[in-house]
Amino acid sequence: MLFKTPEFGAARIIVIGDVMLDRYWSGQALRISPEAPVPVVKVKSVEDRIGGAGNVALNIAKLGGKVTLLGVVGDDAESKILRELLEAEGVVCDFVVEPLLRSICKLRVMAQHQQLIRLDFEDTPINFDQDALKTALIRHFPQNDVVVFSDYGKGTLADVSAYIIAARQAGVKVLVDPKGVDYQRYAQADLITPNLAELQAVVGACENDQQLIEKGRQLLALYQIPTLLLTRGEAGMTLIEHDQVHSLPAQAKDVFDVTGAGDTVIAVMALGVSLGMPLVEAMYLANLAGGIVVGKLGTSTVSLQELARAMHGDRDSLYGVVSEVELVKLFARAKAHDEKIIMTNGCFDLLHAGHVAYLEQAKALGDRLCVAVNSDASVKQLKGESRPINGLQERMTVLAALACVDWVVAFTEETPERLYCALLPDVIVKGGDYSPEQVVGGDCVINAGGEVKILQFVDGQSTTAMINKARKME
């Protein structure tokens, strides 16, 4: 279907809907309370995650898209936590703040990775300033291609019909994750993404796929909606249009928690629509992403690296392009098996024979080789406005294809010092005329019992020389 992970950085998306905080109290339940026949949980950790429409926005941001989140919150601690978590991930927050409203918070008490109870703290935002929310939405239309309405039935989208009309007038594509049985509210949307139970609550029970497709098309015709993406759990997904139908089997190997899976699906669909991708291809990616996220505990997201591996049928691979979070676990696992970890870094803009020889020498020093790669912004900062020649994903993909490279990770700073000090490889390798004392992050690694080694580059091999040669041949 697709052979290359899309560059989602060009996507510009608005998410509007019910924003909420998902809070987890986790611990062990080893006895029954003497006060009542309920387990006693000794809480060991408290974790806050972004839920509802915020989780849709977070999924978009995690995959590299530019996203603005609109919603209604209270003037309380929960809304401040939500804003901090979202803005830390690059999500632009434009909230209507109602002082008398309580921000939505879902508290889950977990024991041995099982949910014992959920406690909901919320006020239904009925009397909030709807004009302020609509004004904010319209203000963001010129800078965006797509708007996602994430409806959890909490009241934020009470006037969703007017919002959809405004979006269509502005030429912005409309995607809706619906709630309830009144789909008249979503009339003229471009795409809706109900799950099977939600759809059958509207159109009635369906005895087979043919009946499901027929009733789905009747719904589309009734409300002037071109496309319906039906998520069907273990049966996969079905994309229903007026003149064609496409289905995909489920991709999940193990279903651990379906919380937020619908958020991930519509987030990936929105990214695809924003980039002008055919809907079938966007569904393919959304199906892969949904299969990844249900294998995680609680409200979760999918990284670009996870999606890329899933595209190549290797979702659980311990090799290739990985995120920094994944790399921490991989380092711990490797060290637990007494594997010696070598790490180096660079731009690797145009990979040449000198690079390959250098990396092969580095790998020979240990069991695992991890290559940290400068982001596009940091390459530009180091090399000038004309660089990089190849984008980050292309550079990382080529490096990951080398037999000597185990893991490839990106970093955004000018130097990898923070990354080295956080990961503490056994050996840092640097090429060129350096002394070990000059290598950034070397002091952290040495103090932890590691070492720094300097290797010589192959003479006559450089990216700059390749670029100059190519220019002379033009």
Instruction: Tell me the one-letter amino acid at 411.
Output: F
The active-site residue, picked from 22, 151, 263, 406, is 263
Cis peptide before 388 (omega within 30 of 0): yes
3-state secondary structure of 71: strand
Verify whether residue 376 is a known catalytic residue. no
Q: What is the DSSP string of 359-386?
A: HHHHHTTSSEEEEEEE-HHHHHHHH-TT
Q: Which of 311, 453, 113 is nearest to 303 (CA)?
A: 311
Q: Return the axis-axis angle of helices 53-62 and 77-88, rounded to nearest 10°.
A: 20
Residue 279: C-alpha distances to residues 44, 123, 146, 174, 282 (Å): 44, 37, 14, 14, 5
Q: How far apart (Å, rounded) are the C-alpha atoms in residues 441 and 153?
A: 50
Q: Which of 117, 96, 98 is nearest to 106 (CA)?
A: 117
Instruction: Locate all alpha helices (DSSP H) within 42-129, ordered by sequence.
Output: 53-62, 77-88
Residue 315: how many other CB atoms lie within 10 Å: 18
Buried b (16+ CB within 10 A) or exposed e, 402-417: bebbbbbbbbeeebbb
* DSSP 8-class letter at 407: E
Q: Which residues are designated catalytic?
A: 263
